[in-house]
């Protein structure tokens, strides 16, 4: 599993400088929960596909060992099977890696801050484990036959070749990508029915997929540029809590995602805290932002002085 030295066909110097190994190391350090981060299999150099393959196995073990019922386990296994290519290598590995990061960070945030456990509306009640399930499959639409090739061909790591340049996307391709929440919900719904997932959990999973790109209070400019989608007319009090959590965690994970450098600058966790603060209100539920930032600051061991400096820089 760990690729290093002669086994990788590279010298030690090349191993150290290989950008793919740097990216996977950054991902492991910043995007994975501690229960995975310290596993011995992840302590050396590892390729993106090998990392995705290993983590998919660990996620399968996690969902089998957690108190998920068999209906949800069957559904999640179908999702994980989508990434297998000829039953061996993993196709589009960083879609999976991003989904895993979002799922575990959402789980831990909801657990530590008791998000979803005592809500007035039944639709907004969920356990941390249910938040994990919903967030794990939020990007299911990107695995669609028409959308996945766009994603793969536009990303040098996704297609397994770090030497390829990023491709520019046409308006038509961007239109297809913006359809991924609806496409994903259409893929998920029959699976939930097939495996007999109960209505409440089905609604939770579908909501996380369908509205995870929905801004909390988008400006007219946001709507015009189609940053908030798929429902332009959706009011903030109509956005389910799971989506407000998912878009917040999704944005944080995307910002610190080293595999997205082909179209955005890589941010540190501290930089993403500033970004999230700045976008509180229009983009994110401001109440959740306060809780999420507080949780992240504790998780990252940010001192009081550092917090004050970050707040000043944000204003």
The pLDDT averaged over each successive group of 10 residues in the chain (315 residues) is 32 55 92 92 89 92 89 94 66 87 97 88 89 96 86 51 54 87 96 96 96 87 77 82 95 90 78 94 93 94 66 60
pLDDT at residue 1, as a whole number: 29
| In the chain, where the domains are located | 49-265
pLDDT at residue 307, as a whole number: 62
Q: How far is Cα 315 from Cα 311, in angstroms, rounded to an integer?
A: 6
**Second-level CATH architecture of 49-265:** Orthogonal Bundle (1.10)
CA proximity to 273, closest of 303, 246, 258, 251: 251
For the whole model, what pTM was predicted? 0.87
pLDDT at residue 113, as a whole number: 95
The DSSP output letter for 217 is: S
Q: What is the dihedral of CA 146, 149, 152, 154, to 10 degrees?
A: -90
Between the CA of residue 150 and those of 81, 179, 267, what are the distances in Å? 20, 13, 24
Q: How far is Cα 124 from Cα 117, in angstroms, rounded to an integer?
A: 8
pLDDT at residue 271, as a whole number: 93
Q: How far is Cα 184 from Cα 140, in angstroms, rounded to an integer?
A: 5
CA proximity to 164, closest of 172, 173, 153: 153
Q: How far is Cα 296 from Cα 234, in angstroms, rounded to an integer?
A: 29
Between the CA of residue 161 and those of 14, 30, 57, 77, what are the distances in Å? 16, 23, 23, 27
Between the CA of residue 50 and those of 90, 152, 246, 271, what are the distances in Å? 8, 17, 26, 29
């Amino acid at each position: 599993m760990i690729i290093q030295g002669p086994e990788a066909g590279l010298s030690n110097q090349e191993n150290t400088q290989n950008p793919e190994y740097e990216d996977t190391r950054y991902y492991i350090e910043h995007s994975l929960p501690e229960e995975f981060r310290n596993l011995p299999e992840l302590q050396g150099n590892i390729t993106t596909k090998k990392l995705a393959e290993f983590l998919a196995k660990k996620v399968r073990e996690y969902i089998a060992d957690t108190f998920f019922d068999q209906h949800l386990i069957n559904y999640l296994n179908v999702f994980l099977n989508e990434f297998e290519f000829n039953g061996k290598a993993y196709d589009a590995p960083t879609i999976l890696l991003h989904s895993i990061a979002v799922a575990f960070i959402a789980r831990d945030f909801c657990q530590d801050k008791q998000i979803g456990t005592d809500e007035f509306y039944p639709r907004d009640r969920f356990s941390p484990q249910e938040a994990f399930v919903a967030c794990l499959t939020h990007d299911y639409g990107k695995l669609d036959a028409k959308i996945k090739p766009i994603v793969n061909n536009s990303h040098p790591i996704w297609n397994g070749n770090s030497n390829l340049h990023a491709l520019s996307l046409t308006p038509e391709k961007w239109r297809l990508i913006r359809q991924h929440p609806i496409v994903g919900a259409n893929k998920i719904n029959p699976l939930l029915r097939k495996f007999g997932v109960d209505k409440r959990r089905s609604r939770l999973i579908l909501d996380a997929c369908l509205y995870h790109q929905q801004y909390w209070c988008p400006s007219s400019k946001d709507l015009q540029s189609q940053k908030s989608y798929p429902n332009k007319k959706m009011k903030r009090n109509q956005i389910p809590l799971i989506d407000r959590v998912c878009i917040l965690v999704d944005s944080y994970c995307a910002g610190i995602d080293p595999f997205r450098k082909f179209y955005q600058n890589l941010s540190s966790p501290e930089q993403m805290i500033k970004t999230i603060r700045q976008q509180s209100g229009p983009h994110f539920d401001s109440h959740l932002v306060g809780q999420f930032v507080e949780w992240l600051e504790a998780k990252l061991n940010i001192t009081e002085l550092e917090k004050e400096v970050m707040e000043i820089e944000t204003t």
